[in-house]
C-alpha cells in the first residue's frame, strides 16, 4: 500500500489544499494530512482546531478515514513519514516563490533521509491564488470567502 504524507500549516484548510488532497488520491492508496507546527510561525488557529476543520471537511466531501487520515506533529516530517510507512511527501506549487521555498525544503529532507521522495502537484488555475493567509486577510476585511474554503471552515472563521 502506497502511503503519502501531505504536511502543512493548514491555517485554515482551503479549497486549494482540498484540491491537492483529492488529486493525490489518484496517485496513492492513502494520504495522511499532517498539521505541522513550526514554533517560528504565528498561526491564527490552534492545532486541534485545524485538525477538526480538516476532519469535518473530509466528512463533508465523503472521503473516508481509510483513504485520508488527519494527524498533527511538531517534529521532522520525514521522521513521521518513516514511522508511518509513508514513502512520499506531497506539496503543492503555486507561484515561483513557492518553488524557491520547496527547493530548499526538498534539499533538507533529502539530506535527512534520501529514501523519502517529495512529490509536487501544480495548483489548478482556479485555486492557484488561494492561500490561508489571503483567506484570513480577506475575511478579516469583510470579503466573502465562501467560494474559496470548505463549508466546515466558514463557521470557524466567524
Question: Binding to ligand ADP by residue 50, rule CB under 6 A?
Answer: no
Question: Binding to ligand ADP by residue 20, rule CB under 6 A?
Answer: yes
Residue from 17, 30, 50, 139 carrying the catalytic annotation: 17
Which three-class secondary structure state does DSSP give residue 149?
coil
Chosen residue from 132, 135, 145, 150 binding ligand ADP by CB under 6 A = 132
Min dist CB 36 to ligand ADP, Å, is: 6
Q: Residue 128: name the closest of 7, 10, 5, 15 by CA.
A: 15
- Does 23 qualify as catalytic in the annotation? no
DSSP string over 17-53: HHHHHHHHTTT-SEEEEEEE--TTS--SS-HHHHHHH
Residue from 41, 125, 155, 158 carrying the catalytic annotation: 41
Number of H helices, E strands in the chain: 6, 5
Question: Binding to ligand ADP by residue 63, rule CB under 6 A?
Answer: no
Question: Binding to ligand ADP by residue 12, rule CB under 6 A?
Answer: no
The neighbouring-strand residues paired with 7 are: 34
- Does 94 qualify as catalytic in the annotation? yes
- Does 132 qualify as catalytic in the annotation? yes
* CA R_g for the chain: 15
- Does 17 qualify as catalytic in the annotation? yes
Classify residue 124 by its DSSP letter.
Answer: P
Residue from 44, 94, 124, 128 carrying the catalytic annotation: 94
Show the cell assigned to 89: 511527501
Classify residue 122 by its DSSP letter.
Answer: E
What positions carry a catalytic annotation?
17, 41, 94, 132
> Which positions touch ligand ADP (CB under 6 A)?
8-10, 14, 16-17, 20, 91-92, 94, 98, 123, 127-128, 130-132
Amino acid at each position: 500500500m502506497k502511503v503519502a504524507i501531505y504536511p502543512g500549516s493548514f491555517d485554515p484548510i482551503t479549497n486549494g489544499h482540498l484540491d491537492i488532497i483529492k488529486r493525490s488520491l489518484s496517485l496513492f492508496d492513502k494520504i495522511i494530512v499532517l498539521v505541522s507546527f513550526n514554533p517560528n510561525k504565528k498561526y491564527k488557529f490552534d492545532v486541534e482546531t485545524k485538525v477538526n476543520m480538516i476532519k469535518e471537511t473530509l466528512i463533508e466531501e465523503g472521503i473516508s478515514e481509510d483513504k485520508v487520515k488527519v494527524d498533527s506533529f511538531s517534529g521532522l516530517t520525514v521522521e513521521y513519514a518513516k514511522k508511518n510507512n509513508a514513502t512520499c511527501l506531497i506539496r503543492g506549487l503555486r507561484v515561483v516563490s513557492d518553488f524557491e521555498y520547496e527547493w530548499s525544503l526538498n534539499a533538507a529532507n533529502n539530506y535527512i533521509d534520501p529514501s523519502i521522495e517529495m512529490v509536487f502537484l501544480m495548483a489548478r488555475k482556479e485555486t492557484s491564488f488561494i492561500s490561508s493567509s489571503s483567506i484570513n486577510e480577506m475575511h478579516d476585511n469583510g470579503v466573502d470567502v465562501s467560494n474559496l474554503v470548505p463549508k466546515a471552515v466558514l463557521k470557524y472563521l466567524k
